[in-house]
Amino acid sequence: MVTCFENLSDEIFYEIFDYLTGYYIYEAFSNLNIHFQQLLNSSSILFKICCYIPSSFELTTELNPIQQCILAHRHQIFSIHIINPYHYYRLISSLIPIDTSFERLESLSVNNIELDILIPLLHNLALLPRLFSLNIGVCNNSINLNDI
């Protein structure tokens, strides 16, 4: 008797997905078959997104795979960790702003953020119904926090 990987229970896949970030789950499982498509779209799956976008990354009008993952599953995203917010902001926020469609976002961590990016981001975050954790690391110690 032969057992296929895809015949394992959904609970086992949920456990496996807990160890992976959202983009890697999307990249590895999204185009395998209908069963995995249904699993990825299940409300039981919550994605953890970690975005590191290097400064050398070119901004284009086409959606890159990270943007496609975020756009397709933004209602399932549980946490976002942004490592290079300036390039994230240029690359993703113009096409996919953090807004009320991120209805399950509970945790946001942003490192090395500049004030001109932080204030508009905070305005959008006020609309999120489940945001419980916000970690902000500013890149310039001379920022006047009164503006925030």
pLDDT in tens, the chain (148 residues): 777 877 888 898 888 888 888 878 888 888 888 888 888 888 888 888 887 666 665 656 566 677 778 888 889 999 988 776 555 565 555 556 778 889 999 998 887 777 777 777 788 888 888 999 998 877 666 666 666 6
pLDDT at 140: 65
What's this model's pTM, rounded to 2 decimal places?
0.74
* Token reading at 39: 């699993």
pLDDT at 93: 59
pLDDT at 56: 60
Say if CB 85 and CB 110 are below 8 A apart: yes
Q: What is the DSSP string of 84-147?
A: SHHHHIIIIITTS--STT-TT--EEEEEEE-HHHHHHHHHHHTT-TT--EEEEEES-TT--GGG
pLDDT at 100: 85
Say if CB 93 and CB 71 are below 8 A apart: no
